[in-house]
Structure 1
Amino acid sequence: MIDEDTPVLDNHMHLDPDHGRGIDAVEDFARLGGTHLLVVNKPSWHLGVEAERGEDFRPVFERTLEIVEAASDVLDGRAWPVLGVHPGLVSRLVDERGYAPEIARDIMQDGIDLAAEYVESGDALALKSGRPHYEVDDAVWTASNEVMRHAFDHGGSLECAVQLHTEASEAMPEVAAWAEEAGLPAHRVVKHYAAGRLEGPTPSVMSEKDRLEIAAERGEPFLMETDFVDDPDRPGAVLGPKTVPRRVRWLVEEGYERAVRIAHVETPERVYGIDTVDTLTRP
């Protein structure tokens, strides 16, 4: 097992108590030594919500808060919710439902506005936004960037982090500059599903050994994640809930104790303002 004084945080996990494994996945994570989770709401349409306005996202956010509370009861640490609008929604709105990109932008920005209300009230820790990781036309790309920058505006005013789902990249200076212009320090922008190195935002590194070794060798701030999707129709998709604790154990065995502290203590404090040590209550 992992040392009892070591917090273990998965920075990006989805939980679906209605259609997926839900708390069973959290129990697997905890059994292997996981202590803290950032739970990101699933894409709205995966929960049967076809949004036409911001308020339509509320049941998605509320269900996420409920599973976060239940997860915290299982963990020796705790879980926090990250709420927002998946950038892939723009294609669903434009390509499948026939909305103009500008209207799709407005719907998604309204969803971000609602998520920001949860952050402002203290019910959520951070926001989620981004842009498509696949090729889209110029109008959709522009609309998506405007949604992302809208999230940065809220992040700057609320002093909260923004997690991004974006294209694969090891350098995002323009995105970092947009965040800074909005009053959001670039290190509080987190690129989910990151490789081991990234210029600009803070990388949330997918917990594969080759990526983690690169991040550990660099000695720069980083986080670890699985992007567990909790979808029974995609049981092998991305990484399972046991992966982060297993990779933490591997990093320690390989002599990367300093990297473990960076990823699970120092970077969470720097990015989100959370204390994974004081919130750790292992018996």
Structure 2
Amino acid sequence: MTDGNGNDEWQGPILDNHLHLDPDHAQGLEAVEDFVNVGGTHLLVVNKPSWHLDVEAERGEDFRPVFERTLEIVAEATAQLPGRAWPILGVHPGLVSRLVDDRGYTPDEAREIMQAGIDVAAEYVADGRALGLKSGRPHYDVSEAVWDASNEVMRRAFEHGADLECAVQLHTEASEDLTEIADWAEATGLPAHRVVKHYASGRLEGPTPSVMCEKDWLTEAAEHGAPFLMETDFVDDPDRPGAVMGPKTVPRRVSWLLENDYEDAVRIAHVETPARVYDIDTEATLER
């Protein structure tokens, strides 16, 4: 990357820790091209919610086409990147509401279906085809039974994360203190730093925050000095172009951080924390 005067700035990796790609219905690889054109190098691609791919799961195996398509997308993205992409596979916690409210399953039945999906996702981590798992709980009000079922799904992901020594990305309610969740992970043998709170603000107790690229939140994270990641949660939905943030956002925020003398924070977010959380080397996998 260069500044407006053509001077060299950060020549290291730039990772978007959480986004979705949908070449079948939306921008797909065009979004990857946009990311690369402004300096992006690495991506963690999370599978889209299963129902977005017209999968109405009744058992764990029903999630497999979602995961397989995500692997194909990741391979295609890697071919375009100066670094590479990795898949994060799992079950979106919002599925519980579709199963219970729309399809008539009990919370316990929904839990079983979602845990079975996590079990299948874990197979891909076990054989090296996926980097980590995704789980969580609803960020909106639900019944106590649905809440409890969702927490049990999340605990299943932690159990696999502990066994596989992999990270678990979480979609949860907004919070700056998720120490209870981190404690649940630790109880299964999964270190708290391998639990990643997707869509985090600038401060978080417990898991590692994956900070949405709002400037105020990034400033807070940079000044705090603790491990963090950066993300856009780009959803690649043709009905919501650019939502949640566009694919150019992380590289542009890296430039903004550098302009404001936060180079240490850039290294933390794009080199040190990815190594700590995922055991990936974003420098060794980069070819400028």
Fold match by TM threshold 0.5: yes
Which residue of the other structure, out of 256, 261, 264, is the alignment partner of 1:255? Answer: 261
**Unaligned runs of at least 5 residues, structure 1:** none
Match in the other structure for 1:211 = 217
Counterpart for residue 62 of structure 1: 68
Secondary structure of the equivalent of 1:205? strand
3-state secondary structure, aligned to 1:175: helix
1:134 aligns with 2:117: no
Aligned position for 2:39: 33
1:79 and 2:105 matched: no
Per-residue deviation at 1:4?
6.1
In structure 2, do the counterparts of structure 1 residues 116 and 62 end up closer, same or farther at CA, with 3 Å as the change threshold?
same
Q: Which stretch of the first structure deviates more once superposed, 154-163 or 1-10? A: 1-10
Q: Which amino acid aligns with 1:136?
A: V
What does the per-residue CA deviation read over 1:209-230, in whole Å, with 9 as the maximum and x for residues that have no partner? Answer: 0110000000000000000000
Q: How does 1:1-283 map to 2 (within 5 A)?
A: 1-2=1-2, 3=9, 5-282=11-288
Shift of 1:42: 0.2
Q: Partner amino acid for 2:87?
A: P
- In the alignment, structure 2 segments of 5+ residues that lack a partner are 3-8
The one-character-per-residue Cα deviations of 1:29-58 (angstroms, maximum 9, x if unpaired) are: 000000000000000000000000000001
Return the TM-score normalized by structure 2.
0.97
Which digits, 9 at most, give the CA deviation of each residue in 1:122-148, with x for residues without a partner? 000000000000000000000000000
Residues in 1 aligned to 2:151 and 2:253: alpha-carbon distance in whole angstroms: 34
Q: Percent identity?
A: 77
- CA distance in 1 between counterparts of 2:280 and 2:12 reads 15
- Kindly provide the CA deviation profile for residues 159-202 of structure 1, in whole angstroms up to 9, marking residues without a partner as x: 00000000000001110000000100000000000000000000
* Separation (CA, whole Å) in 1 of partners of 2:103 and 2:218: 40
Amino acid of the structure 2 residue aligned with 1:55: E
What is the CA distance between 1:235 and its match in structure 2?
1.2
Question: Contact 2:234/2:242 (CA < 8 Å) preserved in 1?
Answer: no
Separation in structure 2 between the aligned mates of residue 98 and residue 20 of structure 1, nearest angstrom = 31
What CA distance in whole angstroms lies between the structure 2 residues aligned with 1:127 and 1:83?
5
- 2:133 and 2:231 map into 1 onto residues whose CA distance is 16
Measured in 2, the distance between the counterparts of 1:31 and 1:60 equals: 28
TM-score, with length taken from structure 1: 0.99
